[in-house]
Amino acid sequence: MGDGVPSSVYAADPSREGPAPTRDRGMLLSYGESMQRPVTNPTSSFRSNPSTQVMEPVYTGAPSRRRRPAWLWVLLILALFLALLLSNCAGFLASSLMRPEVIAQQQTQQELDEALALVDQSATERSEAVAAAEQLDVQVAELQDRIAELELQAEGHGSEVEEAAAALLAVQEERDAALGDVDRLEDRVAALEAELEAARADAPAPRPAPAAAPAPRPAPVAATPSSPSGGSSTSGSSTSGTASGTSSGSVYYANCSAVRAAGRAPLYANQAGYRSGLDRDGDGVACE
């Protein structure tokens, strides 16, 4: 039966018909120490004792089951819901508290990765710098060898250079001495020419030759061979007179200073007063 009435009621009240319910088998009745013992005969539910009229319960070994009340289930559901809610809140709170630490850890890891990348880049640059330094060392060694060779060559040619410089100095001294001699000679020539000019100026001018008296007209006679010779002497005397006149009309300059003072500089070879003594370079132009 499902009405929750214990089997002892059925045993005490014989008016109730039907077998005793099986759901209450195995219960221990707490009516006294004499009643707390199992029934040895499982075939009979109860047996009556005529002397005591106490019904002994039948113990079948199966546990009894009781229906739990509804409020207990509600309480369990609420407890489970509260536990789930608390676990979610605890997880969210833990994640919120750990978020700064996680962010800091991520930033630290990122900085560490960047530092490692910089270290690798620095190592690469250092390797390149070392290679460039080695190349520069090789170039420096080559330049030092070249400098040593040039120094040896300079030491070998040093005496030659000194000798050439001494020879050049001697040649320059000789040239200066020659130029000094030329200047002295020019001054000497100019002085001599001045003396010659002064002597010519002091000398009396030559008298002109007296004119020949007209010859008497000869008598008409036959031509003689002596007539051509007379004509030749006459022409010769006239030619000599012209040459002396030209010679007396020439111009003489003692030096280039006199030429410049006269305003005739430069003198060309076809001009009066030109002479080779005034033309040093011999190009046909004097006192240029």
Q: Read off the pLDDT of residues 255-282 as tens digits, 9 standing for 90 and up.
A: 888 888 888 888 888 888 888 888 888 8
Contact 62, 25 (CB under 8 A): yes
Average the pLDDT over each of 14-28, 70-84, 99-113, 165-179 and give the range with the smallest value.
Answer: 14-28
Contact 268, 287 (CB under 8 A): no
With the CA atoms of 244, 249, 253 and 259 taken in that order, what torsion angle do they form, in degrees rounded to the nearest 10? -160
Which of 245, 195, 198, 265 has the alpha carbon at shortest distance from 274?
A: 265
Contact 13, 20 (CB under 8 A): no
The pLDDT assigned to 157 comes to: 75
Average the pLDDT over each of 94-108, 133-147, 170-184 and give the range with the smallest value.
Answer: 94-108
Q: Please list, in sequence order, all residues whose beta carbon lies within 8 angstroms of the beta carbon of residue 39, skipping any fewer than 6 positions away.
A: 47, 56, 57, 58, 59
CA-to-CA distance for 78 and 75, rounded, in angstroms? 5
Residue 220 is given by DSSP the state -
Average pLDDT over the chain, rounded to an integer: 69
SS3 call for 270: coil
The pLDDT assigned to 253 comes to: 84
Mean pLDDT throughout 211-230? Answer: 47
The pairing of strands 267-268 and 285-286 is antiparallel
CA-to-CA distance for 262 and 79, rounded, in angstroms? 147
Residue 28 pLDDT level (bands cut at 50, 70, 90):
very low
The pLDDT assigned to 259 comes to: 87
The pLDDT assigned to 27 comes to: 44
Contact 40, 31 (CB under 8 A): no
Q: Tell me, what amino acid is at 85? A: L
Residue 204 pLDDT level (bands cut at 50, 70, 90):
low
Report the alpha-carbon angle 54-10-22, nearest 5: 110
Contact 279, 286 (CB under 8 A): yes
Better-predicted residue by pLDDT, 36 or 156: 156
Better-predicted residue by pLDDT, 283 or 67: 283
The pLDDT assigned to 1 comes to: 42
